[in-house]
Every structure is written in structure tokens, then in C-alpha cells.
Structure 1
Amino acid sequence: MKYQIVPVTPFQQNCSIIWCEKTKSAAVVDPGGDIARIEQQLAHHGLTITKILLTHGHIDHVGGAKALSEATGVDIIGPHKDDEFWLTSLAEQSKHFGFLPAQPFVPNRYLAAGDTISVGEQTLQVLHCPGHTPGHIVFFNQQAKLAWVGDVLFKGSIGRTDFPQSNHQQLVESITQNLWPLGRDVTFIPGHGPISNFGAEREQNPFVADQLLA
């Protein structure tokens, strides 16, 4: 599986284009905005977008999903249904964070733990990882040892838990019980900032390092 990070929105959110190298079938993860930039990169790589995948309902991750879906005719998939209240409040979120107006939408499909998503001949496993938001999910490709973790985990940090229905302890449990078992050699693409791997975070992350939680 191949991927390219496309920073979008004033928050420089890591939207990702991911694709099957054999079929050139692609998915776009968390298109928060700047749709023209995303479409330009799809064309540059000769890719055919087949679906839009969402990790959670915050506007910097979903603000461009409806426009991209309407422009390409592909389905919006995810997040978990517990983030429905975030998707219905997009107009309020856009005002609060100073984003361009965004209208509420309903995904074509919500996701749950244990679901799988196909991108060409590649498969993504779905993990429900609440804490930052109640319906946050993570996408994992076993073959490439790659995970798209949204705002659950960052290089040297973890997601904020000062939002409605956030929960710090639940977030820590999502990381240590759902992500760490995937393997120390898994590289993860966070919603913001540089990539890292689970092994490095288990050693150095000041919020979830193994020695802090022993």
C-alpha cells in the first residue's frame, strides 16, 4: 500500500491519499478541506478514488468530505456512529474554529470495531479507539504495517480530551490496548505533525510510554 500526506486546512491536518499500487484504486482519509489540492494529487499519481474514509467528526478532518463526495460520486465511510453528533454540528464547528461554512452530512456507512475496508487489493482493518472523540476509529494495513490514527496518537503526544464526550483514561486505554498489540514496528500517520512508530512512542511518549504505565 502506498500513501501520500496532503496537509489541508489552516490546521495543516494530515489528509492522506492511500492506494493499491497494483490497481491504482485509492481512498482519501480525512479530507478536511482544500479539495482542489487533493484532486490534483489524485490526478498526479493517476489514481481512481473509490471511497472517502473518516477517522472522526472534527471539522479539520471532515470539512471537505461532502464536497469531495459530490465531486467524485464516491461514498463517505466512517467514523463510528458515536461521532454522529459531531457531524450534525459542522455548521457550528465551522463558526467556532473560523473555517469556511460546512454543512452537516450523514456518511453512507458508519464503521465499527472489526470491520474491514478494501482499497483495490489491499485491506484495512478498523479499530474503534474512543477517547479524543467517542466514535474515533483507526485504519490499519497489516501487510504494510501502517496505521492511520487520526487524533488518537501523535509523535510525542496524544489527542486532546477537553472536547464534549472526550475521556482521557479511555484514550490511554485505546492506545495501549488497541494500538500497541499491533506491533512495535507499525508506522503511524497521525492527524497532525510528523509520522512515528509505536515502538518509539512506547519508549519516549511522555503520556503513554511503557515505563509510565507499568
Structure 2
Amino acid sequence: MKIQPIGQYGKQLTRLGLVNCFLVREEDGYTLIDANLKESDQEILEAATGLPIRRILLTHPHVDHIGSVDALMGRVKGLELIASERSIPILQAPPDLSLRAGEVGPIRGGTPGIASKVTQTVVEEDRVGSLLVIDTPGHIHGHQSFLDERDGTLYSGDQFGSLGNLTITGFMPWWFPMKAFSNREQAKDTATKLLTYPIRRVACGHGKVLEGGTELLQSAIDRALCRD
């Protein structure tokens, strides 16, 4: 697992050169954003040098973001598991993929569910330590991103990918499956919404961390508009 620092408070943990999760340092220890693939738990724990992991904060329930949740919940006493309320039925094993009123579907992508139970749900404008919760629909129902208000790092989950340029989910390269799972119009609207936040860099679920704020996001929106 490759480990790289992000801003002043974060670490990017990457497996297979492509799948990211993140450790964010808080006063009481680390918040782990997403849990990568299965069998990542030992490397995640080793990356949390000097401080305990206090909570797992999920962007969404796809397999490459929840893979080591159960292993970590079993190994770390008192670990919290935090997610959006909409994610809970999708996190069940087996998952409930039924749609709610007004939703467009189907729900796609690998959603194997987990045995662990969510201990806390969050909604937009909640804060988890230094992280501001932002609803970012488009990739999957219930998707959330998290803005570290101390240094402007947006942990975007799969709202964006950064396999080269910053790219809105649904507009990724043809060979990357994230494109097939997403509601393109909703994801574009979400990207426009994010222009109003004080973002200084974007840390995606897949790809490298990219420095920049409004101009970076606007460039992703412009590329998406050109591909409509």
C-alpha cells in the first residue's frame, strides 16, 4: 500500500495503484475515510502511526470503499462506523437496492454489503471532527463527500476521479467502470454545487490528489459539457 501525505492533516493510502482510502488526523486520533478493498486492514492500521483510528466515515457502499470495514470493526475496539442514512439499506448483507420515491435507478456497481452496523448517520452540513459533510449524489444514491475545513481538502469519494485530469463521475474513460454506474446529469449538478465551497484540493477515490479549487472544478465541468 502506497502512502502519501495530503495537505496538513491527511494521508492517501493506495492499493493496486488505483484504489484510495484516507486517514485524516483529528485531536483524538484518525478518521478513516472509506475502507478500501478486502484484506487492507493490516496495512491501514500500520499507516495510522502514533494515533488510534477512532472512526470509519464512508462516502458510499461500493465494494472498493467498504472492503475492509468488517475486519477493522472486529480489530479496533470502540471503532465508530458513520454513513449517510440512505446508504444503510445498501450496506446490508444482502443489500436492499430498492428505490425510494423520486429516485432514478437502478442502483449499480458492486454492493456486497457488510456485517457491521452503522453506529451514526450524518446529513449535509453535519461535521465529523473537522470534516464538513456534503451530499454529493450522482455516482450512487446516498453518496457523500467531506471537506476538511482546516486546509480545504475535499475528500470526494467517487464524485470525481483523477486518472489524469479531474473528471466528474459518469465522464471517466471508457475502460473505467465508474462511468457505467453514474447518473451523469446529477453528477454534473453536484459538481456545480461544489463550486460554492472553499475547496483547495481534491482527493478522489481513484487517482492522484489534485491541487486547486474553483478553477479545477470548473475545468471538470467544462470537459463534461463538451462530452454531452
TM range (shorter): 0.7 to 0.9
Deviation at 1:146, TM superposition (A): 0.9
- Deviations 1:6-32, CA, capped at 9 Å, x for gaps: 113x57311111103xx4611111112
Deviation at 1:172, TM superposition (A): 0.9
Question: Aligned match of 2:127 in 116, 120, 136?
Answer: 116
8 A Cα contact 1:11 1:60, kept in partner:
no
5+ residue gaps, structure 1: none
The aligned counterpart of 2:150 is 143
Partners of 1:24 and 1:53 in 2: CA distance: 15
CA RMSD of aligned residues (A): 2.8
Partners of 2:57 and 2:127 in 1: CA distance: 12
The aligned counterpart of 2:46 is 40
Greater helix fraction, Structure 1 or Structure 2 = 1
Identity %: 23
Partners of 1:19 and 1:11 in 2: CA distance: 23
AA aligned to 1:116 is R
Change (3 A) 1:67 1:174: same
AA aligned to 1:158 is I
Give the TM-score normalised by the residue count of structure 1. 0.78
Structure 1 position 193 matched with structure 2 position 200: no
Superposed, which structure 2 residues align to 1:43-54 within 5 Å?
A: 45-54=49-58
- Deviations 1:18-71, CA, capped at 9 Å, x for gaps: 103xx46111111123110001111xx201111111000101001111211221
- Deviations 1:162-201, CA, capped at 9 Å, x for gaps: 33xx422111111111x11113x52111001011133343
Partners of 1:84 and 1:153 in 2: CA distance: 22
Structure 1 runs of 4+ off > 6 angstroms?
none
Partners of 1:135 and 1:11 in 2: CA distance: 26
Partners of 1:108 and 1:211 in 2: CA distance: 37
The aligned counterpart of 2:188 is 172
Superposed, which structure 2 residues align to 1:38-187 within 5 Å?
A: 38-42=44-48, 45-73=49-77, 74-78=79-83, 80-89=84-93, 103-118=114-129, 123-155=130-162, 156=165, 157-159=167-169, 160=178, 162-163=180-181, 166-177=182-193, 179-183=194-198, 186-187=200-201
Partners of 1:90 and 1:62 in 2: CA distance: 14
8 A Cα contact 1:202 1:210, kept in partner:
no
Deviation at 1:86, TM superposition (A): 2.8
- Deviations 1:89-141, CA, capped at 9 Å, x for gaps: 568xxxx96x9x874443111221111111xxxx1110011110110001111
8 A Cα contact 2:137 2:187, kept in partner:
yes
Partners of 2:31 and 2:59 in 1: CA distance: 13
Change (3 A) 1:211 1:61: closer
Partners of 2:28 and 2:67 in 1: CA distance: 25
Deviation at 1:154, TM superposition (A): 2.3
AA aligned to 2:126 is D
Partners of 1:211 and 1:7 in 2: CA distance: 26
AA aligned to 2:183 is N
Give the TM-score normalised by the residue count of structure 2. 0.74
The aligned counterpart of 1:16 is 22
8 A Cα contact 2:90 2:113, kept in partner:
no
